Amino acid sequence: MKINKNILVPNLLTYTILTVAAVTLVFPFLWMISGAFKDALEVVKMPPQLLPNRFTFENFIEIKKYFPIEKFFINSVIVSTITTILQLLFCSMAAFVFAKFQFRGREVLFMLYLITLMIPKQVTLVPLFIVFSKLRLADTFLGLILPDIFSAFGTFLLRQHMLTIPDSFLEAAYIDGASYLKVFTKIILPLSKPAMATLGIFAFMYSWNSFLWPLIIVNSKELMTLPLGLSKLTGRWATEWNILMAGNTVSFIPIFIVYIFAQKYFIKGLTLGGNKG
């Protein structure tokens, strides 16, 4: 069988570049997980080695000396899960309106909504903290959750996907007497699973890794999240890297699990998100 060199060379080059990129992206995670099972000397040994000579689980036990990791882990799970669910709910409803309802000023309102993406998050922290303090929401779970349940990016992502859903589906449902709520729950949401999964992963990951807002709004140790706890593993003069890598490994597991369960929808959602404007 004759091999077409005009196709083989570009394909070989493409796969080579993709392989190098994949290894480059994956290696830091492998190094982090490997360091979580090394002792304090081996993790900084030169020349470095990927696999530890002796696997040890003591680093995961040592974390408890710095902060109650179980409590902070549960707090992060509660905050991230509720935030993700509410963000999916509100963004999907807003996207449904912007995608399938015709009303005066819709496009202008949507553009104004998107303009908020240009405002850096740090600019709104002080006004947001003042508002939450006056509402007595500082140092509460509600104060941790509320700022992230609305997302202009999430609304845009879902709207772009909902625009690809034929209007004839909705019109047939309306003719059969379906209400807006039934159309939304029985037609729009089931057909938007890929985009919803994509947004869900982004929302969960952002909330799980959020550090600056919890640092500002939370004072009591009972409400602290895992990123705040991990910051305590970094010393002023020295850092125990093996313990820090163990903590980061624990923090990485939930995001990895969420992605594994939603990956087929996630990949499909990324390919469908910008088909129609």
Nearest-angstrom CA–CA distance, 192 and 164: 10
Q: Is residue 91 part of a domain?
A: yes
Q: Please, which residues have CB within 8 angstroms of residue 241's CB and are 6 or more apart in sequence? A: 35, 40, 43, 44
List alpha helices for the chain, DSSP H. Answer: 5-35, 58-62, 69-100, 106-115, 121-134, 141-145, 152-162, 167-175, 180-183, 189-191, 193-209, 212-217, 226-231, 241-272
CB distance 199 to 88 below 8 Å: yes
- Nearest-CA neighbor of 228 among 122, 80, 69? 69
Q: Is residue 234 part of a domain?
A: yes
Domain that holds residue 81: 62-272
Number of folded domains that form the chain: 1
Q: Is residue 277 part of a domain?
A: no
DSSP 8-state assignment for residue 135? T
Q: Domain containing 178 — which CATH number?
A: 1.10.3720.10
Instruction: Name residue 195's amino acid.
Output: A
Q: Is residue 27 part of a domain?
A: no
Could you give the dihedral angle defined by the CA atoms of residues 145, 151, 157 and 162, in that order, rounded to the nearest 10 degrees?
Answer: 90
Q: Is residue 49 part of a domain?
A: no
> Which structure tokens are listed for 10?
């570009």
Q: Is residue 19 part of a domain?
A: no
- Predicted confidence pLDDT, tens digits, the chain (277 residues): 455 556 666 778 888 888 888 888 888 888 888 888 888 777 777 787 778 888 888 888 888 888 888 899 999 999 999 999 999 999 999 999 999 988 888 889 999 988 988 888 888 889 999 999 999 998 899 999 999 998 899 999 999 989 988 888 888 988 888 888 999 999 999 988 888 988 998 999 999 999 999 999 998 888 899 998 888 777 666 677 888 888 888 888 888 888 787 777 666 655 554 444 4
> 3-class DSSP state for residue 7?
helix
Q: Is residue 76 part of a domain?
A: yes
Q: Is residue 55 part of a domain?
A: no
